[in-house]
Amino acid sequence: MASENGRYRGLLVDWGGVLTSDLFVSFRAFCELEGLEPDTVRRRFREDRDCRELLIALETGAVEEDRFELQFAELLGVPAPSLIDRLFAGSAPDEEMLSAVRRARAGGIRTGLVSNSWGTRRYPRELLAELFDGVVISGEVGIRKPAPEIYALGAERIGLPAETCVFVDDLPFNLAPAAELGMATVHHRTAEQTLAELEPLLGIRLR
């Protein structure tokens, strides 16, 4: 449902893979450097129950980073020190998307972050304060996408009903629960495509 003036009034976005470059590209680079098959990390999280449960525990804050690194390193057969940093070493900020969020907020759109975290210390907090009216990081709230509660909390933290918000994520399975709450959803693949979809929804120019 659009807002009363015919436009959505809130923008909720993911962090990794939306406001940064593709994380799976970084994971592939990690695998190549570590002598693993390029798709090892993605495949283990999708197909290995132990890896999946370990990731869920990390994202909800139930497992500390050091313990995750020790256990995941053992499962992969690689060294544990700085494992998370090594996994994300190939990622970089997406300046076009960051600029778009700034433009949205400056244009009167309420902006929020809804992010599944790999630990909570790597987020650039000053930048988050600049970009967002509200922040929901899974490891801090004990809820992770795709649980419906995290999307509702994202809308609550920017002070809007869910049905007046647009949610952007790079993983399609994270979009459906947001849509069920009444949010418009955008599957992020490139900044160009995402901004082309967002501009008519929000009623402002983002480029």
Question: 108 and 158 share a domain?
Answer: yes
pLDDT in tens, 111-151: 999 999 999 999 999 999 999 999 999 999 999 999 999 99
Question: 71 and 129 share a domain?
Answer: no
Range of the domain at 132: 10-21+92-202
Distances (CA, A) of 19 to 65, 74, 120, 131: 22, 30, 16, 11
Average pLDDT, the chain: 95
Say how many domains are in the chain. 2
d(CA 116, CA 52): 14
pTM equals 0.94
pLDDT in tens, 74-107: 999 999 999 999 999 999 999 999 999 999 999 9
Question: 124 and 138 share a domain?
Answer: yes
If DSSP states are collapsed to H, E and C, what string results for 34-103?
Answer: CCCCCCHHHHHHHHCHHHHHHHHHHHCCCCCHHHHHHHHHHHHCCCCCCHHHHHCCCCCECHHHHHHHHH
Q: Which two tokens stand for residue 184?
A: 């418009």
Question: 96 and 75 share a domain?
Answer: no
Strands 165-169 and 184-187 turn out to be parallel
